[in-house]
Amino acid sequence: MVIDLTRCAGCYACQLACKAEHFLPAGIFWGRVLVGEVGTYPTVRKVNLPVLCNHCKEAACVDACPTGATQRREDGLVWIDYDKCMGCRYCLIACPYQARTFYSDDKRAYEPGQPFTPLEEIGHKLYQPNTVVKCDFCRERIDAGVARGLKPGIDWDATPACVNACYTKARTFGDLDDPSSEINRLIREKKGFQLHPEHGTDPSVYYLQY
């Protein structure tokens, strides 16, 4: 994935689309938009930094997981098998991007004192308390789309929800292994960079600068 910071409007559409797509419980966000300021008064500029799991090629979380719950697929997607996760949180500590969340409470409602909505009920069935959860690049969408002959990053039904929801087209999804892909063109021409390359994890999420 490539995220163009010059296009991000800080609207949180990506964050909310992720919430809705995955029926995430209250207090859980797989994708976030960090907002800050740079410069000195009166020359100050707002800066938006969308963050999510970086699906690293050398994923520290995979190495840290003692049960094999965290895995990296051949296509580079890093995911969690919740049936194998024992909630030790080693992966959470190992991740240099703070992209994982320990889900401990399945009783908390979005509206305190009110019954769970049907969407909340679905989330409670999907996620097991005392496990770690994170962004999986909407792997169900990708897998279902590819099975139908669709291409991730090109076809809506095979592309992550956050990419589809971005109305400024700040996000681009595609194949890093294809030198002719759109994301590789953007990385080359606009000098895409990774967050914290010093950790040696080789993230699969790139950013384009201001």
In the prediction, which pLDDT does 38 show?
87
Name which of 52, 11, 2 is nearest 31 in CA terms: 52
Evaluate whether 29 touches 101 at the Cβ level (below 8 Å): yes
- The tokens for 62 are 């995979």
Contact partners, residue 175, CB within 8 Å, separation at least 6: 152, 153, 181, 183
pLDDT in tens, 135-190: 999 999 999 999 999 999 999 999 999 999 999 999 999 999 999 999 999 999 99
pTM of the model: 0.92
Euclidean distance between CA atoms 65 and 87, whole angstroms = 10
190: domain CATH number is 3.30.70.20
| Domain that residue 92 falls in | 2-196+203-208
| The residue to which tokens 């590789």 are assigned | 184
Task: Count how many residues are written for the chain.
Answer: 210
Name which of 52, 76, 59 is nearest 199 in CA terms: 59
- End-to-end C-alpha distance for the chain, whole angstroms: 17
Count of structural domains within the chain: 1
pLDDT at residue 110 above 90?
A: no
Which residue type occupies 180? S
| Count of helices and strands (H, E) across the chain | 7, 9
Describe the crossing of helices 13-22 and 118-126 by its angle, rounded to 10 degrees: 70
Per residue in 19-40, is it b (16+ CB within 10 Å) or e — as a string? Answer: bebbbbbbebbbbbbeeeeeee
pLDDT in tens, 2-41: 999 999 999 999 999 999 999 999 889 999 999 999 899 8
Euclidean distance between CA atoms 173 and 205, whole angstroms = 9
In the prediction, which pLDDT does 210 show?
65
In the prediction, which pLDDT does 197 show?
95
pLDDT in tens, 51-85: 999 999 999 999 999 999 999 999 999 999 999 99
